[in-house]
Amino acid sequence: MESGDGWVVRVRPRGSRLTAAQAAAVADAAEAQGNGVIELTGRANLQLRGVTPDSHAPLIAALRAHDLIDADIDAERRRNILVTPFADAATDALAAALEAALAASGLMLPAKFGFAVDAGPLPVLTRDPADIRIERGPQGLTLRADGMATTSPLHDVTDALVLAQWFLDQGGAPGGRGRMAALIAQGARPPGADLPAPATAPAAQPGATGQGMLAALEFGQVPPDTLRRLSRLGPLRLTPWRMLLVQGAHSMPDLPGVILDGADPRLRLRACPGAPACPQAHAATRPLARDLAGLVPPGAVLHVSGCAKGCGWPRPADLTLTATPAGFDLIRHGRAADPAVLRGLHPDQLPRVL
């Protein structure tokens, strides 16, 4: 995708995992073929920024050499799978089997249609984007259509493909677009979904876990050398929470951009790259968000968006500041394009307003 600072290239690691060699390859590629910016996305993918027409081919070659590129675009599009960072070997095997089945299926699903393999003791991905969810309930593995409060038993991964085909047969993707939750909201109900959905785990916090250290990243960005150093501490699992799980680590040195304190006010911030990185942004976003972080109460979310598209946080936030040619609009409990309660605010006014 073209942006204000060059092309943005998405990397979709298999199973949401990076080995030390793969992490080093991504870091090297970001510095050699991009502008050194690596971002973790809300779908547990990576993005490299600042890629140029001349550097794109060497970048792809470097990533392909470390098994980070699919054979073709259709295979990559279907391989839209979130995997719980707390996966055990059986869950990893389940995700790999689903990946192989999708690659062989030929299903023509919408580009944003995705799967979650969330088969830990309690689901942790229920707040994150997925259309078909594999979870673990009291009676074993279950399959749930997003938007449903009930679920069905999962016998093997082909059940997930059958549910995806049901979504298409029900007209869930008119014009090649559509999501499962929207279809369910229209009254469609998949057959056999009569088991209660499992309880949901609390939102993950940075710091020590039973599987390793969760390292939160300011604005979801990880400097290349930080990525290298984290990968030397243990294998990495990507999350959709702007965090990396360093498996097996029990402590962590002070690293640039890494947050280990769940009370850090920067965790309450959401912001797109803003100007000048995005040509559609009307103002810089992240420096402003950082300046305002201390005014955001615990538990709340402040979203600073460079324009009304709201790419940095497509969900409602407690407070949203949307940049416009006339200044910042303030939206309460809404998205970047929702009606504002105050308009045209100068950045100097914002601390007092907040």
pLDDT in tens, the chain (354 residues): 888 889 999 999 999 999 999 999 999 999 999 999 999 999 999 999 999 999 999 999 999 999 999 888 888 888 899 999 999 999 999 999 999 999 999 899 999 999 999 998 889 999 999 999 999 988 899 999 999 999 999 999 999 999 999 999 999 999 999 999 999 999 999 999 999 999 999 999 999 999 999 999 999 999 999 999 999 999 999 999 999 999 999 999 999 999 999 999 999 999 999 999 888 999 999 999 999 999 999 999 999 999 999 988 988 999 999 999 999 999 999 999 999 999 999 999 999 999
| CB contact set of 90 (below 8 Å; sequence gap of 6+) | 119
| CB contact set of 218 (below 8 Å; sequence gap of 6+) | 257, 259, 266
CA gap 102, 168 in Å, rounded: 15
Q: Which of 117, 137, 139 is nearest to 128 (CA)?
A: 117
pTM above 0.85, yes or no: yes
Whole-Å CA distances, 183 to 43, 116, 257: 21, 18, 40
Residue reference for tokens 């304190």: 261
CA gap 19, 57 in Å, rounded: 23
Q: Which of 300, 297, 280, 296 is nearest to 288 (CA)?
A: 296
Strands 327-334 and 258-259 come out as: unpaired
pLDDT value of residue 305 = 97
- Angle at CA 296, nearest 5°, toward 293 and 300? 125
CA gap 75, 100 in Å, rounded: 10
pLDDT value of residue 75 = 83
Print the SS3 string covering the chain.
CEECCEEEEEECCHHHEECHHHHHHHHHHHHHHCCCCEEECCCCCEEEEEECHHHHHHHHHHHHCCCCCCCCHHHHHHCCEEECCCCCHHHHHHHHHHHHHHHHHCCCCCCCCCEEEECCCCCCCCCCCCCEEEEEECCEEEEEECCCCEEEECCCCHHHHHHHHHHHHCCCCHHHCCCHHHHHHCCCCCCCCCEECCCCCCCCCCEEECCEEEEEEHHHECCHHHHHHHHHHCCEEECCCCEEEEECCCCCCCCCCEECCCCCHHHHEEECCCCCCCCCCCCCCHHHHHHHHHHCCCCCCEEEECCCCCCCCCCCEEEEEEEECCEEEEEEEECCCCCCCEEEECHHHHHHHC
pLDDT value of residue 138 = 86
pLDDT value of residue 88 = 94
The structural domains of the chain, ordered by start, are: 2-70+220-240 (3.90.480.10), 86-196 (no CATH), 268-353 (3.30.413.10)
CA gap 337, 329 in Å, rounded: 10
Residue type, 7: W
pLDDT value of residue 2 = 86
